[in-house]
Amino acid sequence: MKVKTITLEGDTGYIATISREDKSIVCHIADKNGTSVNIHLVSPDDRDDQYSMSQCIQYQLDGCRGTNSMIHSYFRFIELFAD
């Protein structure tokens, strides 16, 4: 089984779409109108980069700096695309 795409919506109304494209994990963050706000690309075999991506997603979707457990919730989704 392969996970191809995950879409997450936060309390802020921002939407993060995480996918695996070629040799990168990609996250597109869009506002309520679908306008792209950020695009993040990280290596599928670099856990530090993946954790950094999860911090960015958490901040954008929750609207505040999160605790480790909040960030880890997003990190688990990113791990589905890792090598």
pLDDT tens digits along 49-72: 999 999 999 999 999 998 888 999
Q: Structural domain tally of the chain? A: 1
pTM of the model: 0.89
Neighbours of 77 (CB within 10 A): 16
Segments forming the whole domain that contains residue 36: 5-79
Between CA 15 and CA 82 the distance in angstroms is 21
Percent of residues, the chain, with pLDDT higher than 70: 100
- Nearest to residue 44, comparing CAs of 66, 21, 62? 21
